[in-house]
Amino acid sequence: MSSFNPKSVFPRRTPGATPALRAPKGALSIYDPAYLGLDARDRAVRVGLMYRNILIGGEPGAGKSVAQGNIVAHAALCTDVDLILIDGKIVELLPYAPVAKEFVGNDMTKALRVLRGLQTDLDERYLHLARTGRKKIVPGDGFRAKLLCIDELAYFTVTVGTKDQQEEFRTLVRDIVARGRAAGIITIASTQRPSADIVPTSLRDLFGYRLAFRCATDSSSDIILGTGWASQGHTAVDIEPEALGVGLLRAEGGFPRRLKTALLEDHHVNQIVRRAAHLRRAA
């Protein structure tokens, strides 16, 4: 069997995309779109990550971690972004820990410390924007992009820690999602509990991309995609239970679009992380 080639899954840089500064040969840029999978007509689905946030929800085992892994794998190969990974389950994002700036497992104290650091960073970035009279961070500003990935929002907002810690976690995440886009800080958050207490509308609406895998109820599906979509026939309840990795992607106010994510097996991930480590050392 031929060996897996990360270049075949993560295509070469998009012509015209902003080049990564001093990127080693073969590196990707976070300004390049990330490959997520195929749509119902077998067309490639790519998502631009820079200046965007992504919310992923759905039942346990429906495909959230695989989708999130595709995005983190893309970002790992981009030498112009720092990865900040918070994974209450530890095992989903752990393979990427060697190339992450921060990796937090099921540790609320550390998660809060890392989020507070990101908030301080945000403040500095906005000061810079105010001083330079601009509205968003661009390459050459001296600020690296950051990708914050939180696997299982509910773990940190209702399960572990004290009520005060959970509230602080919610407040920090909301601020980072709300202000991060222009400041070059991208957030990807997933939850297997798409309910109003975990993802209130005011938080959901800050995410430009929403990806709903199979949900138990129309209201759970709407909590991810946006109110009213189920009544118009766009509901993740209709995704067959055996259709693993199939979800509805709603991008920036558009219609939900059915897609099947690409599946990276463990050995693919190991190869990607080795290559990412090499590229990052060379950058």
Ligand X SMILES: Nc1ncnc2c1ncn2[C@@H]1O[C@H](COP(=O)(O)OP(=O)(O)OP(=O)(O)O)[C@@H](O)[C@H]1O
In the annotated binding site, the residues are 58-65
In the chain the beta strands, taken as DSSP E runs, fall at: 34-39, 44-47, 54-57, 81-87, 102-104, 145-151, 185-191, 209-213, 246-251, 257-261
Residue list 10-49, contact with ligand X (CB under 6 A): none
Pick from 64, 74, 250, 268 the residue near ligand X by CB under 6 A. 64
Annotation: binding site for ATP: 58-65
The one segment of 5-13, 62-70, 93-101, 116-124 that binds ligand X by CB under 6 A: 62-70
Measured from the CB atom, the residue of 158 and 283 that comes closer to ligand X is 158
Place of tokens 């500095």: 124
How far is Cα of residue 261 from the mean position of the Cα atoms in its chain? 14
Q: Which of residues 153-192 bind ligand X (CB under 6 A)?
A: 192
State which of positions 194-213 bind ligand X (CB under 6 A).
213
Q: Tell me which DSSP letter residue 265 carries.
A: -
What is the closest distance, in whole angstroms, from the C-beta atom of residue 273 to ligand X in the complex? Answer: 18
| DSSP calls for 86-139 | EETTSTTTGGGGGG-SEEE-S-HHHHHHHHHHHHHHHHHHHHHHHHHT-SS--T
- Identify which range of 56-64, 109-117, 163-171, 265-273 contacts ligand X by CB under 6 A: 56-64
Closest CA to 253 of 272, 280, 225, 234: 225
What does the per-residue mask of binding to ligand X show for 239-278, with x meaning CB under 6 A? -----xx--------------xx-x---------------
The answer to whether 32 and 12 are in contact (CB under 8 A) is no
34-39 vs 257-261, strand pairing mode = antiparallel
Q: Using CB under 6 A, which of 19, 61, 98, 200 touches ligand X?
A: 61
Q: Is 60 in the site for ligand X (CB under 6 A)?
A: yes
220 binds ligand X (CB under 6 A): no
Question: Does 108 engage in binding with ligand X (CB under 6 A)?
Answer: no
Dist. CA 246–CA 149, nearest whole Å: 21
* CB 30 within 8 Å of CB 147: yes
* Among the listed residues 34, 36, 45, 62, the single contact to ligand X using CB under 6 A: 62
How many residues make contact with ligand X (CB under 6 A)? Answer: 15
CB of 184 to ligand X, least distance (A): 27
Chain residues in the site for ligand X (CB under 6 A): 58, 60-66, 192, 213, 244-245, 260-261, 263
